[in-house]
A and B are shown apart, each in its own frame.
Chain A
């Protein structure tokens, strides 16, 4: 696939990194030439220096033959104009734009072939906010990802010593909880993936990914670790876009405190938030944290733009007694450094965002893609089309499907029903199939599985 990425920011770069390794032709446009040169050295991509919305620049970036345009520059307006130009001049099939400003999102009618031709709007801040929100709703989870419009969730949990399932085989899970349908999709032990089978024994500190309907998540989680008390008090450090959105979405159900250093921003926050308490001060200020009862806080989220400050203030909050700390971290290498040891959950904005882009890159009818474990693993929701003769999956039981190594079919969604996959489950046409890949190298094979043979048309 030929993809042009506008803007070599955090999102642009992580998309380039993810996609260039996968047999895509990537061209990156940015104004910063030094950055581009550096990128070209590191990844197998082409770079063009210039202003992303200029037709000449778009031409030299090869938008003419591109299958997809991903506009993720700093400016919403440049992103929209670039999509408009690509559509008008070259009829680029898929145009994705990042729009930060909430105002644009409120009016979906402005995006369409007759107005501003953006096919997919992404808003990383919104995605990250939703992501954090789900984590707060499911205490104990490292990651909570949704499929089939929320009918089924994929949850990552770190197994704790002494919990019911640790030291037991996976097949015991069903005896423990007769009424609960769940399926373990993958297990990561010290960074290495283990393909889950009935006789796999779960050890303490394993990172377990399982799928279940949202109402069963708590029950399954309790099998893997002592259940955390539901969250009541949340403290947010940093009142930027994400902090603000999160406070807004949480303030109805939780007691929210938000700390902001900048007086003007804090004032603005206090004007727009109704129940949350806005505190003016430094999130790394011990006195302030003590005064605001950090020891009784259930979740502390550090969401400033400065990732080092996030890590340090989270560490401080943890030491002062916050039950669970989360921190926004961009650099993948930092995530490995701090996650699970010092910080409970590291939130990587790029990884949250990339999934929504990957959905459009994947061949076959793919509805949702979640990128996991720094992009090495992937969870995919794909729709099976065709019939037994044209499709490689329809009309076959899970046993009969030739899955690439490291891939598991975890669940199916048929209409409104969620079906947890067993070895004899037969896939029907139009089923949504949820797959888990521990090794992204085999993504091509998975795509092939869901592409319909030529006779279908």
Chain B
């Protein structure tokens, strides 16, 4: 393993990362906020730390191998979460313990949106901005950003890219060169964010709120600058804008890329995953709306419609914005929504969960087994976009599925052991592993009241979910470290 090269890259990335504190520093200085000192200290620490890390090995330039990619991605996410939590920890307001700051930072970077902070409306603007910015950077993936803007990664970029991008088929590049692919993804990401911010602004948000919320909408994060989340604005227009952009951000970005390059929408309509994604969300939204109406939770159909639609899309794409206390909704609705978050966004989007394409493959595999019982001699292949999928992909999906469920079970048992009740433990693990955010029971509004052990376990769950489990788990196998 090329530890010197790894160290060099991490040092560089740290120095680059320190720059993202500058907007908050300026904001704190401009608004004379008490957080200025915290941000300055954090900035200097990260910059100097990265520099000291980089300095002794600045000339190490070996090509990265597959294993190095895993180490860089995982260690960078961990290091980044730690240094990302510094301003939150140092800042006098909110007064967070290190555990809480780490949890909040992890939740931001993995675009989960679970928060331990209450009283958001009274917090300094710089801290609020910082949380949103972290979430935005984590959405497309900071390594993908690094591949796009830093020329140093070269061929090794593919290893990193693959370790960070979600979805079962990671080899599809949009352009011949990885750097251009990463750039294209970020352009789309940035473009969507700008349009979203403009839409929010026109719909009546303040500029600060509009930009902040566009960050967490397109990143499918779910952080808000208000305790009541999107519900604070109490405006169906804003909710519908959020719905549209959450839907867009949950679509595979390569579809956006193709549509943008060919200037046509045909790509979307022909894509199996996109169709499944829209179908699933529409059905769930319809069920939610009807059930809300008939159970008389909302008395008029219009209210039921916009709350139901918003909540179905927000949870289904794993964003986690709320307009109403969905966890108090009657009957099976909260659990239905939580289950839908397991499906999550599309591969190659900013959404979490297991990804639509994987569920689609597993479902088609199930259908294939049924057909085989009916026609024992039939040759049946699982097809996506009218193309047969190699069995290797289906196998990988099954492996993923098994480990996802396995990790879920173990973490839920650990949470139960720390004394959480069943509903809370179940929903907290689901919400964190799927990068959703708000859960049920004790963790419906926020995560501040659960114990520290649970917070560490949930932080792990968030990282597992964001890096799609294998990238992280592979580091824990002895075979990986054997030379």
Contact = CB atoms under 8 A, between A and B. Distances in A.
B158 A40 contact: yes
Interface stretch (A41-49, A151-159, A191-199, A243-251): A41-49
A43 B180 CA distance: 14
Interface in B147-163: 154-155, 157-158
B180 A25 contact: yes
How many interface residues does chain A have, given as a range?
A: 10 to 19
Contacts, number: 29
How many interface residues does chain B have, given as a range?
A: 10 to 19
Contacts of A62: 176
Interface in B164-199: 171, 173, 175-180
A321 to B, nearest CB: 44
B177 A25 contact: yes
Contact of A40 (B157, B171, B179, B180): B171
Given A37-B171, A40-B171, A26 B155 contact: no
A2 interface: yes
A123 to B, nearest CB: 27
A27 B155 contact: no
Contacts of A46: 173, 175-176
Contacts of A25: 175-177, 180
A40 B154 CA distance: 13
A42 B158 CA distance: 9
Contact of B157 (A26, A27, A44): A44
Nearest to A37: B171
Given A2-B176, A25-B176, A25-B177, A43 B155 contact: yes
Nearest to B153: A44
Interface in B109-166: 154-155, 157-158
A44 B175 contact: no
A26 B176 contact: yes
Nearest to B159: A41
A44 B180 CA distance: 11
A234 B180 CA distance: 52
Contact of B177 (A37, A41, A42, A44): A44
Interface string B59-79: 000000010000000000000
Interface in A11-68: 25-27, 37, 40-46, 62
B154 A44 contact: yes
B385 to A, nearest CB: 13
Nearest to A3: B176
A185 B157 CA distance: 36
A361 to B, nearest CB: 14
24 contacts: A2-B176, A25-B175, A25-B177, A25-B180, A27-B176, A40-B158, A40-B171, A40-B173, A41-B66, A41-B158, A42-B155, A43-B155, A44-B154, A44-B155, A44-B158, A44-B176, A44-B177, A44-B178, A44-B179, A45-B176, A45-B177, A46-B173, A46-B175, A46-B176
Interface of A: 2, 25-27, 37, 40-46, 62
Given A26-B176, A40-B158, A44-B154, 14 more contacts: A2-B176, A25-B175, A37-B171, A40-B171, A40-B173, A42-B155, A44-B155, A44-B157, A44-B177, A44-B179, A45-B176, A45-B177, A46-B173, A46-B176
